Amino acid sequence: MTDRLPAAAGHARGGGPALLEREPVVDVLLGAVATAATGHGCAAILTGEAGIGKSSVVRALRSSLDHGVRVLAGACDDLLSPRALGPLREAAAGTTGPLAAALAGSRNGESDAVPAATVAELAAWRPTVLIVEDLHWADDATLDVLGHVGRRLADLPALLVLTYRDDEVPPAHPVRRVLGALTATTVHRLALPPLSPAAVAGLAVGSGRDSAALHALTGGNPFYVTETLAAPGVTVPATVADAVLARVGRLDPACRDAVEQLSVVPTAVELGLAHRLLGSRFDALAPAEEQGVLQVRDDGLAFRHELARRAVEQSLTALRRRTLHRRVIAALAEAEPRDLPRLVHHAVRADDVEAILAYAPTAGREAAAAGSHRQALAHLEAALRHAERLPGHDRARLHDDHAWELHNAHRHEEAVAESERAVALFTAIAEPLALGSALVRLSRHRYLTGDTDGAETAAADALRTVTTLPGSSEAGEPGGSAVAAAAVNRGTLLALGGHPGAGAALREAHVLADRAGRLDLVALCQNYEGLAEPDIDIDHRIGLLRASIELAARNGADEAVARGYTNLSEMLYRYLRLAELDEVLGDGLAFTDEHGFPSHAYNLNVHRCLLALRRGDWATAESGLEALVDQDDDPGMLAGHSRPPYGRLLARRGVAGSGQLLALAWERALGQRSLLCLAYAGTALVEHAWLADHLERAATVLAGWARHAARPSGEPVHAEILRYAARAGLPAAPFDGCPEPWAAGLRGDWRAAAAGWARVGDPYEQALELAASGEPAPTLEALRTLEDLGAHAAVRHVRRRLRELGITRVPRRPTADTRAHPAGLTRRQADVLALVADGLTNAEIAAELVLSVRTVDTHVGAILDRLGVRSRREAAAVARTLDLTDGSR
């Protein structure tokens, strides 16, 4: 909804007593609007419990704005599954700008334009205030759009106002993604406190109520206070619900009946819907408005607060609620277009199975198309509870769609099971086209759990199934497109699994995709040909990958573009083309953010951390990898991208337990056969074997890698594994085509190797080659570099080498990230120690710092080692002695 409101004389306009002690907050918001008017966008986050006055502050802000300020305002729904982009649709209602146009297209599944259109809308009028209330109920698509806006807000003439209940947004809540996107702009964080005893006393004047008792009972919650004061009698109601029901109880029976009907609708009830729902009873609502139970707003009829609506609804018997929900279903079904999320909500509440099956599957698919995947999952699962009542095709499709949304939720094992059910159902009803598509999806689900063999089997079955379709060899026919898609899927899996026939399979798939006119599939073929073709040089490989991105972008194949960026990043990192990698990561992360590809963004973020690690910025690498490893979602096989580099960095730091993490990653990589996972786990584990003087483990890695050593584009991996195996004491020599600088190190030419790593910009590898010189001066230089990096494990090796060279007294230097800390701890370790000193358990520390318990266990062990103590109690004592209990030193 948009409006241009006249200036008001004071903040309390339209707000009433609820604005008591809120004027300073409104002043901050008005100052933020003035800042936005200069072209410097900012955000304001209003938080607090239900009833604390967030909406009242928003109303006061809007009534205080000058007529030149444009306001776009919407609120999120407390539905079973919120409407995709619901608050943005409400905000854009009645406008004709780019946002309204993009939202109209999103109803047809074209939601990609909404993020950019929202930015364009905010840039079109100076200043614009975009308000989204009750963000704790937001759908995924809305959160994605707000995150996109947040990253660009600093350059927009706009203020973004977000409200949410902080007690309903735990650390892992999706809202945190939006808050994290606001780091590049000014953010006003406005936590609304309860009213003071003096304020409550002022409100209670003349009521006959004991203000101290009133404050003690209500906790100073403004809504509870005002409802209590409005309740009849002098006894203070024990709860908000009691206060609301006392007020409703004064209404006449006809009005109360109509209010109860509206209470089962979580959103504002549009006037048209209210007329259809109440009929001749509509006029009976007048006393409810007069008594302040209901409000007439621009968007319809609404209770004064959601707490009031819930109080009325929950006072009804279960049978009456079901009856009222069924009436809402009938009224909503008369409107076009049908509001499917609301229909599903009321169908579930009414236990109306016929309505659930009529509306939920379509609602789920529409939500998925808009990018609201959590909401899609909720709709589909509502239908699945009654799936046995569906015809065979509809039931199979429901399971297939559910499997895809489980995949989007990173519930990969469950996705495999659901996908297998869909395949079995499509097989039973003999629908080869649908079966082929389901098998392609099953192959992907299996691959993401690490079951490469099962994935290849499903991919082969898919190709065999669709090849028998009529028109499978003809351009423009569904069969031809299905065959091309199945062939490309099989070719990519063979490439990822290192199958020797992958190149030929991809060339054949390329021909089929060309014939079918599927340029998106042609782009994917080019992409994986860059990985799988034997006997081509690195420039040719990178050229194929770049060409695939360009072709996919020209034809709107967004997923193929995102996949192209990930594969290109892997290749550039592997061949040490770090300047190009830096540029590609910037472009790729911007693209995946814009178009919503979290799995590809995960891969790109891993490579951003790897780039930081190569360049010696270990603090950035460590914090980034730690965040990826500790995220709540199960990344499936993508864990094989992040955990080995993280374990490798921990091994370099000398952290105990890293070897076990890396050994497990290596076993999984061997089973999956992904070159990327093998590369990261194998190089990490063989380095750990050297650092830990574990010759046998290094030999195990070398033996396991041997069958993969000749894979296309695997030469740098082979060279790095050999170099660390040589450091561990195993015989190793450069092979034909061995890339530099590894080859120089394997030849024993430490000067050339060190110079090569200096050109690459990797101080750690350069130091290791200097340490291999056998000369005091280069070895001492290596020691200084490694100490600065915090490479404690390698430092021990170099000090041992110096002793062998006759240098026995070498002063120790603190590392860059511990130099400022009196106990020599990293910043994260200092945070953990402060909480240990406060008496928190590891689980409580994990919740406080948003880490996994496993990571906290590792930090506590490292702290005990660093402080030279044996227990948490001793560590806490040291912290208090050094005044480290605030974690800030």
Give the model's pLDDT for residue 17. Answer: 43
Contact 303, 266 (CB under 8 A): no
3-state SS, residue 786: helix
CA–CA distance, 480 with 485 (Å, rounded to integer): 9
Give the model's pLDDT for residue 43. Answer: 96
Instruction: Report strand pairing: 2-3 vs 70-75.
Output: antiparallel
Map tokens 């203070």 to a residue.
236
Instruction: Report strand pairing: 300-303 vs 294-297.
Output: antiparallel
Phi, psi angles (nearest 5°) of residue 713: 65, 15
Contact 584, 568 (CB under 8 A): yes
Q: How many helices and strands in the chain, by DSSP H and E? A: 45, 8
The distance from CA 351 to its chain's CA centroid, rounded to whole angstroms, is 33
CB atoms within 10 A of CB 297: 10
CA–CA distance, 428 with 458 (Å, rounded to integer): 17
Stretches in the chain below the pLDDT threshold 50: 1-18, 818-819, 887-889
| Residue 522 in tokens | 């042609």
What b/e string do you get for 38-73 counting C-beta neighbours within 10 Å, with b at 16 or more?
A: eebbbbbbbbbbbbbbbbbbbbbbbbbbeeebbbbb
CA–CA distance, 561 with 557 (Å, rounded to integer): 6
Helix (H) or strand (E) holding 747: helix 742-747
Give the model's pLDDT for residue 5. Answer: 25
Burial class (CB in 10 A: 0-12, 13-18, 19+), 587: middle
The distance from CA 720 to its chain's CA centroid, rounded to whole angstroms, is 33
CA–CA distance, 565 with 334 (Å, rounded to integer): 47
Q: How far is CA 883 from CA 739, 820, 876, 887, in A?
A: 51, 14, 10, 9
CA–CA distance, 872 with 841 (Å, rounded to integer): 10
Q: Which residues are 163's β-sheet partners?
A: 46
CA–CA distance, 717 with 498 (Å, rounded to integer): 14
3-state SS, residue 507: helix
| Residue 150 in tokens | 């947040």
Contact 598, 610 (CB under 8 A): no
Query: Which of 32, 58, 36 shows the shortest CA–CA distance to 47?
Result: 58
Give the model's pLDDT for residue 108. Answer: 62
DSSP label at residue 390: S
Give the model's pLDDT for residue 860. Answer: 80
Helix (H) or strand (E) holding 798: helix 792-804
- DSSP states of 111-137 as a string? -TTHHHHHHHHHHSSSSEEEEEE-GGG
Burial class (CB in 10 A: 0-12, 13-18, 19+), 252: exposed
CA–CA distance, 130 with 634 (Å, rounded to integer): 34
Q: How far is CA 445 from CA 127, 407, 459, 584, 773, in A?
A: 47, 7, 11, 28, 49
- DSSP states of 164-227 as a string? E-GGG--TTSTHHHHHHTTTTSEEEEEEPPPPPHHHHHHHHTTTT--HHHHHHHHTT-HHHHHH
For residue 71, give every residue at least 6 positions away whose Cβ sits within 8 Å of its Cβ, in sequence order, or none. 2, 3, 4, 5, 62, 65, 128, 129, 131
Give the model's pLDDT for residue 613. Answer: 97
| Residue 148 in tokens | 């996109």
- DSSP states of 587-647 as a string? HHHHHHHHHT-HHHHHHHHHHHHHHHHHTT-HHHHHHHHHHHHH-SS--GGGHHHHHHHHH
Burial class (CB in 10 A: 0-12, 13-18, 19+), 809: exposed
Q: Which residues are 366's β-sheet partners?
A: none
Q: Which ranges constitute the DSSP H helices of 46-111? A: 54-63, 86-92, 98-106
Q: How far is CA 477 from CA 31, 506, 584, in A?
A: 61, 21, 37
Q: Which residues are 75's β-sheet partners?
A: 133
Burial class (CB in 10 A: 0-12, 13-18, 19+), 172: exposed
Query: Which of 323, 369, 361, 324 shows the shortest CA–CA distance to 344?
Result: 361
CA–CA distance, 679 with 718 (Å, rounded to integer): 8
CA–CA distance, 591 with 558 (Å, rounded to integer): 9
CB atoms within 10 A of CB 143: 23
Give the model's pLDDT for residue 632. Answer: 62
| Residue 461 in tokens | 């079955």
CB atoms within 10 A of CB 575: 18
Residue 616, phi-psi category: left (phi > 0), alpha (psi -120 to 50), beta (remainder):
left
Model pTM score: 0.80
- The number of CA neighbours under 13 Å toward the Cβ of 429 is 17
Phi, psi angles (nearest 5°) of residue 384: -65, -25
Map tokens 């993401």 to a residue.
448
CB atoms within 10 A of CB 314: 11
3-state SS, residue 159: strand
For residue 402, give every residue at least 6 positions away whose Cβ sits within 8 Å of its Cβ, in sequence order, or none. 377, 380, 381, 384, 418
Query: Which of 403, 405, 481 shows the shortest CA–CA distance to 446?
Result: 403
Q: Give the chain's radius of gyration (CA, Å).
A: 31
Q: Let me know the angle formed at the C-alpha of 401 by 398 and 405, rounded to the nearest 5 degrees.
A: 130
For residue 527, give every residue at least 6 positions away whose Cβ sits within 8 Å of its Cβ, in sequence order, or none. 544, 545, 548, 549, 560, 563, 564, 567
